[in-house]
Structure 1
C-alpha cells in the first residue's frame, strides 16, 4: 500500500472519530399530519404596560387589581407604587413613573389613584417620549389640569354621589350625616364640591350635616393616627347625635375603623369613599377570603351580609356592587391593550370603555363625561361612573 493511500485511510478514520464524539444533530420536527396546520410560534408581546398604585396600606384594592393584571399578562405588565406620604414625596412619584417610561417597550401607563404629582410626572415623560398612553383613575388634582395631561381619566361620579349618598342615608333613616375629611382632601375640587352638595341635600331633606375634621393620614401621625382617631371619635359622635347618624369619610385608610365603629355603635354607613364590597368590609369584619373565592363577588357579599347581621346592622350598611377602583385598574389595562392592538376607534373611545367596564362589572355600566361647573369646561376624555346600591 502506498504512503499516499495510507495517509488517506488515516485521515478518514480521524474524521469518523471526530464526528462520532461531537454533538449530535437534533431530529427534525415531525411534519404535521395531512390537513393539519403547522403549530404557530408564540409571539412575544410587542409592548409593555406600566401600572402605578398605592401601597397596601393606602389602597389595597388597586394594588391587588394590579397584581391580578400581572398574574394574567406576566412580563407584559410592570408594577410600581407611589409612596404612602405622597404629598411630601412628589419627586418619588415622578421618579417611579419615569422609571417605567424609561423602558422603550412601555407604551401605556395606568395610574390609580392619580395622586398629586401625576400631572407633573406625565409632563416629564412627555419631554422624552410622546408615544405613551396615559390613563389616570381617581384623580387627586384639579380636574381641568389632569384632563389636559392624561389621555383618559376615570372617576367615580363624585358629584353624583353627593346626591345618591344622602338619599341612601335618608332611606336608612338618618337624621344626622357626619362627613370626615381634612384640609388636603378639601383642596381637591371635586371632593369640595361634593361636600357642598352633601350639605345642601341634608338641608333640603332636614338632615343635620356635621363637618368633622380628621387627621390627615399623610401627616405626622400617619395612617395609624388617623385610624385611631376614627375609632375614638365615632363613639363620641354616636353618643352626641344618636344611632340615626350616617357616617362618611373621604379617605381609604379610614374605612375599616369606620365600619367597625359604626357597627359596634349601631349607627349607619351608606357608602365608602371608594364604593366596593372589597373596600374596608373584609378587614373590618374579619372576613377571610379563601384562595378559590378571590374575585367571587357573590361569596363576599354573602359573607358581609352574615357578619353585618351578627352585629345587628342589617339594613344599615351598603355599597356599590362593583369594586370601582379595581375596575379602573383592570379596565385601564384592558383598554390599553385594545388601543395598542388597534381595536379602538380613536385614542379616546367611549363605547369601548363602556364595553370593557360592563364586561368587568358583569352588569351594564353607562359613562358620563365631566363638566367643570366652575370653569364651564367639558372634557370628553374624563369619564364619570355611577352605580346603584346593594344593602346588606
Structure 2
C-alpha cells in the first residue's frame, strides 16, 4: 500500500513538473511571438534602377517575411516625386509599423521622413543612404547610414603602402573632380601618400560626361597606363574615380603586374567577372564568398596574389541588409546604444560577418560630428 501511495505521489509530482515546464515553454514562445509582432518598411529603387539595393531588400523580406515590407519608388522618381513621397508616408498608416528605412542614392526623399516623424514620432526612421542635406537628415531622421567616401582616400593609400607600393596614380576627369566628395577623397589620398613617402601622380583623362562617352577615356587609359608603369614600375597602385575605368585598369593589371587595392566602388562584381571571364551561375551571382574565391584563384594563377583587392560585398548590398538588422535590434532591444560606433562595428560583424569601421559624419573637417549620422568603410580584402 505504501509502495502504491509512493508511486502515486511520484507520478503526481512528475505530472506537475511536466505541466509546469510545458506552461513555461508556451509562455516563452508567446512572448517571442509578441516581440516579433511588428513591421519594418523598406523602400528602395526598382530592380532596373538599382539592382543591388532592390535585391538586398528583397532578400531581407524573404528572410523576415512576417516583419519586412519591401516597396519600391517609382521608376522615374524625378518626375514622380510626390508619388514616391506618398508611398513612403503611407507605410506609417500600418499601426504595426515600428521602423521605416529609405534606401536610395538620390536627394528629395527627406520630406517624406519628416512627415512620418510628425505623424508617428515613435516610428524609427532610417536612411541607408539618401543624399539630402546631412544637417537636416540628422535633425529629422533617427539613424542615417552611408559609406565614408572621403576616409577611403586615407585607407586606400595606407593599404597600398602596406603591401609595398611606392607610387599612387590617380585617374579622373574635370566633371568628377568638381564633385566635392571626389575632390576631398583625392586630397586625402594625396596627403596620406606624401606623409607615407609615396610618389603621387595625378592624371586627367578625357571627360566621358562632356565628350563622346567612355570610349576616348578608356582608350586613353589603355595607352597611358603602360607608359606610367614603364616609368614608375609595378610597385604602383592605380585608382580611378569612374566605374567603367576598371575594365581597363584591372585588365592591364594582369598584364603589367601593378596593384589595384580597391575600385572606386569596391565590390567583387565590378570588372573582375568580365575581365577574368568568370562563369558565375545565376544561383551564385550573390554568393559573394564563392565569387571572391574564384577571383583569388585567377589571381594566384597569374602570380597576382595579394596585389588586387576590394570589399567582400558591395556597400549597396551591405547597407540595406545591415539597416534591417539594426532596426530589428533597436526595436527588440531598446537598451542597445546605436550611437556608440564600437557597438555598431561589433554588431555588423555579428550579423553580417563583415569587418567595418563606422565613424560619425562631419560635413567639413572643422564641423561638429552629427550624432546620428554614421559613415563606414569595410576592411579591404586582397585576392
TM-score computed with the length of structure 2 as normaliser:
0.72
Is residue 110 of structure 2 the alignment partner of residue 98 of structure 1?
Answer: no
Is residue 38 of structure 2 the alignment partner of residue 47 of structure 1?
Answer: yes
Q: Counterparts in 2 of 1:116-131, with a 5 A limit?
A: 116-126=107-117, 128-131=119-122
Match of 1:254 in 2: 244
SS of 2:165's equivalent? coil
Tell whether the 8 Å contact from 2:206 to 2:216 is kept in structure 1 after alignment. no
Q: 2:199 aligns with which of 206, 212, 215?
A: 206
Q: Counterparts in 2 of 1:143-222, with a 5 A limit?
A: 143-170=134-161, 171=163, 173=165, 175-180=167-172, 183=175, 186-187=178-179, 189-204=180-195, 205-212=198-205, 214-216=207-209
Q: Which digits, 9 at most, give the CA deviation of each residue in 1:37-88, with x for residues without a partner?
A: 5977877964332323345566543333212101111253233445787xxx
Q: Residues 346 and 270 (structure 1 numbering): CA distance in 2 closer, same or farther, change over 3 Å?
A: closer
Q: Residues 99 and 387 (structure 1 numbering): CA distance in 2 closer, same or farther, change over 3 Å?
A: closer
CA separation in 1, counterparts of 2:202 and 2:228?
11
Q: How big is the shift at 1:99?
A: 0.6
Q: Which digits, 9 at most, give the CA deviation of each residue in 1:114-141, with x for residues without a partner?
A: 4222334433544655444222224544
Match of 2:228 in 1: 241
Q: How big is the shift at 1:325?
A: 3.5
Unaligned runs of 5+ in 2: 1-17
Match of 1:137 in 2: 128
Tell whether the 8 Å contact from 1:234 to 1:261 is kept in structure 2 after alignment. no
Q: Residues 352 and 388 (structure 1 numbering): CA distance in 2 closer, same or farther, change over 3 Å?
A: closer
Q: 2:344 aligns with which of 353, 368, 377?
A: 353
Q: How big is the shift at 1:383?
A: 1.9
Match of 1:28 in 2: none
Q: Which digits, 9 at most, give the CA deviation of each residue in 1:363-388, with x for residues without a partner?
A: 65453222333552211212232343
How many residues align? The count is 349
Q: Residues 203 and 256 (structure 1 numbering): CA distance in 2 closer, same or farther, change over 3 Å?
A: closer
Q: How big is the shift at 1:268?
A: 3.2
Q: How big is the shift at 1:332?
A: 0.6
Q: Residues 207 and 195 (structure 1 numbering): CA distance in 2 closer, same or farther, change over 3 Å?
A: closer
Tell whether the 8 Å contact from 2:44 to 2:72 is kept in structure 1 after alignment. yes
SS of 1:154's equivalent? strand
Tell whether the 8 Å contact from 2:208 to 2:217 is kept in structure 1 after alignment. no
Question: For the aligned residues, what is the CA RMSD?
Answer: 3.9
Q: How big is the shift at 1:211?
A: 4.4
Is residue 305 of structure 2 the alignment partner of residue 318 of structure 1?
Answer: no
Tell whether the 8 Å contact from 2:337 to 2:343 is kept in structure 1 after alignment. no
CA separation in 1, counterparts of 2:371 and 2:100?
20
CA separation in 2, counterparts of 1:54 and 1:327?
16
TM-score computed with the length of structure 1 as normaliser:
0.71
CA separation in 1, counterparts of 2:58 and 2:216?
31
SS of 1:108's equivalent? strand
CA separation in 2, counterparts of 1:317 and 1:122?
40
Q: Residues 76 and 100 (structure 1 numbering): CA distance in 2 closer, same or farther, change over 3 Å?
A: farther
SS of 2:364's equivalent? coil
Q: How big is the shift at 1:336?
A: 1.3
